Chain A
Amino acid sequence: NAGVTQTPKFQVLKTGQSMTLQCAQDMNHEYMSWYRQDPGMGLRLIHYSVGAGITDQGEVPNGYNVSRSTTEDFPLRLLSAAPSQTSVYFCASTGRVGANYGYTFGSGTRLTVV
Chain B
Amino acid sequence: AQSVAQPEDQVNVAEGNPLTVKCTYSVSGNPYLFWYVQYPNRGLQFLLKYITGDNLVKGSYGFEAEFNKSQTSFHLKKPSALVSDSALYFCAVRVFSGNTGKLIFGQGTTLQVKP
Contacts and interface: CB of A to CB of B under 8 A. Distances in A.
B100 interface: yes
Interface stretch (A43-51, A60-68, A75-83): A43-51
Interface string B95-112: 010011111111110000
Contacts, number: 62
Interface of A: prevailing SS: strand
B36 to A, nearest CB: 8
A98 B107 contact: no
A45 to B, nearest CB: 6
Nearest to A35: B105
A26 B107 CA distance: 29
Interface residues of A, number: 27
A75 B41 CA distance: 21
Interface of B: 4, 6, 9, 32, 34, 36, 41-46, 49, 51, 90, 96, 99-108
13 contacts: A33-B102, A35-B105, A41-B107, A42-B6, A43-B44, A45-B102, A48-B100, A48-B102, A90-B44, A97-B101, A98-B101, A104-B46, A108-B42
Interface of A: 4, 31, 33, 35, 40-45, 48, 50, 56, 58, 90, 92, 94, 97-98, 100, 102-108
